[in-house]
Amino acid sequence: MTTIAVFASGRGSNFMNLYQAIQEGQLTATIGLVVSNNPGAPVVQTARSWNIPVRVLSPTRYTDPQQYETDLLHTLAEFHIEWIALAGYMKKIPASVIRQFPNRIVNIHPALLPAFGGKGMYGMHVHEAVFQSGAQVTGVTIHFVNEEYDQGAIIFQEPVVIRECRSPEEIAEKVLAVEHQVYPRVLQQLLTHPFEVVGKRVYFNQESETP
């Protein structure tokens, strides 16, 4: 069984949803660790109450960025982490961690990248920008993490039609429901099927269905 770490900064609904998918057998993995940069995040409380190990590591609390990277790498090794799933994680993943987990760090983004991504584009900021833009379609993107915000190879996208949405909050609600449907499915596919990354594209071999 694959041991994954979930990195999260806030509410943690995707974390809870992944945990539930594991309980229900849809995702054959173990959440061995939750990493957060935010000690006060609801996700930290939830994970603790479920007896999942939690480590709070905030890069801004370190004077030496190298020490932060070392501590993070040690923590991931200590818990035998094989894959990392970002779920509302608002900090950049250090290059050394990306090198240690090649094509094994996954992020979920609440829009159709490459639109509405990049630094500062997270959570409600994304939905506000989408709302203001007048776009009638947004969606969910699941991608590998590289050294630039929201620029790694795209694994999966699901469009969400928002023609009738009257507020960013309404968009957020529709998109989050889709995130919860697709994230466990896509992770399961990644953990159980061979794939190939060619540039920014990810291909599963022909026998496996699209997640």
34 or 81: CB nearest ligand GAR: 34
Helices 13-23/42-49 angle, 10° precision: 20
48 or 193: CB nearest ligand GAR: 48
Q: At closest approach, how far in Å is the CB of 160 from ligand GAR?
A: 12
Query: Of 202, 180, 197, which Cα lies nearest the Cα of 13?
Result: 180
154 or 176: CB nearest ligand GAR: 176
Query: Of 202, 203, 189, 5, which Cα lies nearest the Cα of 97?
Result: 5
| Catalytic residue check, 193 | no
Which residue is it, tokens 């699209």? 210
Residues 11/42, Cβ–Cβ less than 8 Å: yes
Instruction: Name residue 11's amino acid.
Output: R
From the candidates 109, 127, 143, 180, which is the catalytic residue? 109
Rounded distance, CA 109 to CA 96, Å? 22
Name the site residues for ligand GAR (rule: CB under 6 A).
8, 10-14, 87-88, 108-110, 122-123, 126, 176, 179
Which residue is it, tokens 């961690």? 97
140 or 194: CB nearest ligand GAR: 140
Residues 150/117, Cβ–Cβ less than 8 Å: yes
CB-nearest residue to ligand GAR: 88
Please give the C-alpha separations between residue 9 and each of 55, 91, 161, 175, in angstroms, as whole numbers. 12, 8, 27, 18
Q: At closest approach, how far in Å is the CB of 63 from ligand GAR?
A: 27
Residues 9/91, Cβ–Cβ less than 8 Å: yes
Active site residues: 109
